[in-house]
Amino acid sequence: MNKDVLIVVPAYNEEKNIENTIKDIKENTAYDYVIINDCSTDSTKQICEKNKFNLITLPINSGLSNVIRLGMKYAYEEGYQIVLQFDGDGQHEAKYINILVDEIKNNNCDIAIGSRFLEEKKKKNIRMIGSKLISLAIKLTTGITIKDPTSGMRAYGKKAIYEFNKNLHLAPEPETLVYMIKNNITIKEIQVKMKERQYGASYLTSLKSIEYMLDTLFSIFFIRNRRSKKEK
Amino acid sequence: MSITLRIILIIGSIILFLLCLKKMRKSELKITNGVMWMFGSLILILMSIFSDAVGIISQKIGFMAPVNFVFLIIILFLLIQVFLMNLKIVVLTDKINQINQYIVLMKTKLEKDGEDHK
């Protein structure tokens, strides 16, 4: 088996989307994938087992961050070179996977972000204002422009996977990008298209998104805005 | 301060002290956490017995009323407790997550090995 790229598909209550997502991945790429089921309460697990998908099920529901951390750990232990985060909710299109992965393989960058707004303009709604604020915060602290910091479609190279395994508190969130930039990891954005959610609810609801914004901005300015200490 | 109020305070703080001691003996309360509570209830007992001294001290420091001084001490004590509790919760959450990951990875490995043997 070629242990090159691992596609991590976090899934929480995605019984309606997961089958199409995996089909999409299988049709477009030959890379290994793993679904990480965050202790779903619906039949996500049964569907995956029925279709013989490569599945990992967490015994306790522990949130998206921990799911990605687990994916990183899994990839690290199994010796994968690149991890690609690909949402199981049907928003992402698998035809862009190869573009992101090639970008890292050609040593252009350590993290490739599938960006919705690299060439296209942002729509004007509250979510996009939040996204702009985070972009501005990243620009202020690191000097680097990231147009779509909240994108859930990212490819991580070897260095980034190592960082994730070294620092247990990194999450797949914008503040981690700041941390990565401060630790000399290069980031590049690639234009992709995303669909609207097909079924089910997202992790982020309205009240939570305010909390999310506060947490993220605070973290960018005060916590991740410095180099990590050298290993003891 | 009236005698009845004083007696109530003394009895209350002694009950808290004894409760801590009892829980620690039954090891429902860890010694390290319990010592902090013992310390707190000891302060309460001392303050209720020597309430006149508390009054004098608070006046010397410059509090408007002794009751402010007493509340300040108790609030400080509680703040420290909550803060320490928060630190502990973070450590526990990390540990749970690590165990969670460990269990999952082990389980997947075992299942894979099982399939290979078949």
Choose the mutation target among A3, A8, A52, A69 for the interface with B, i.e. most B CBs under 10 Å: A69
The first and second tokens of residue A24, run together, are 């999409």
Separation CA A17–CA A23 (nearest Å): 10
| Residue with token string 């190592």 | A162
- Residue B105 has its nearest CB partner, among A60, A62, A77, at A77
Mean pLDDT, contiguous 10-residue spans, chain A (232 residues) = 82 86 88 89 88 87 88 90 87 87 86 84 73 88 86 89 86 86 88 72 67 85 68 41
Q: Which residue in A158, A174, A187 sits closest to A215, CA to CA?
A: A174
Which residues neighbour A166 within 8 Å (Cβ) at sequence distance 6 or greater? A231
* Nearest residue of chain B to residue A61 (CA atoms): B100
The first and second tokens of residue A178, run together, are 């700041």
Q: What pLDDT, on the 0 to 100 scale, is given for residue B115?
A: 78
| Residue with token string 């090891």 | B27
The answer to whether the CB of A154 falls within 8 A of the CB of A114 is: yes
The interface predicted TM-score of the complex, written ipTM, equals 0.72
The contact set of B with A (CB < 8 A) is: 94, 96-98, 100-101, 103-105, 108
CA of B114 to nearest chain A CA: how many angstroms apart?
A: 15
**Residue spans per domain, chain A:** 5-223
**B116 has a pLDDT exceeding 50:** yes
The answer to whether the CB of A116 falls within 8 A of the CB of A192 is: yes
Q: Beta strands of chain A (E only): which ranges?
A: 5-11, 32-37, 55-57, 82-85, 111-115, 154-156, 187-191
The answer to whether the CB of A28 falls within 8 A of the CB of A57 is: no
* Nearest residue of chain B to residue A62 (CA atoms): B97
Q: What pLDDT, on the 0 to 100 scale, is given for residue A231?
A: 45
Q: What pLDDT, on the 0 to 100 scale, is given for residue A198?
A: 57
Separation CA A34–CA A131 (nearest Å): 29
CB count in 10 Å sphere of residue A9:
27
Compute CA distances A98 → A25, A181, B20, B75, whole Å.
10, 24, 62, 58
Contacts of A56 in chain B (CB under 8 A): 104, 108
Compute CA distances A46 → A52, A83, A151, B9, whole Å.
10, 25, 29, 61
Tell me if chain B has a CB within 8 Å of the CB of A65.
Answer: no
Separation CA A43–CA A160 (nearest Å): 33
Superfamily grouping for domain A5-223? Spore Coat Polysaccharide Biosynthesis Protein SpsA; Chain A (3.90.550.10)
Tell me if chain B has a CB within 8 Å of the CB of A79.
Answer: no
A157 vs B113, higher pLDDT: A157
What band does B89 get if pLDDT is binned at 50, 70 and 90?
A: very high
Separation CA A17–CA B37 (nearest Å): 52
Separation CA B104–CA B98 (nearest Å): 10
Q: What is the pLDDT of residues B24-38, one digit of tens each?
A: 888 777 777 788 888
Tell me what the pLDDT averaged over chain B comes to.
Answer: 87
Question: What b/e string do you get for A119-155 counting C-beta neighbours within 10 Å, with b at 16 or more?
Answer: eeeeeeeeebebbeebbebbeebbeeebbbbbbbbbb
Compute CA distances A3 → A32, A75, A76, A106, A153, whole Å.
8, 9, 11, 17, 20
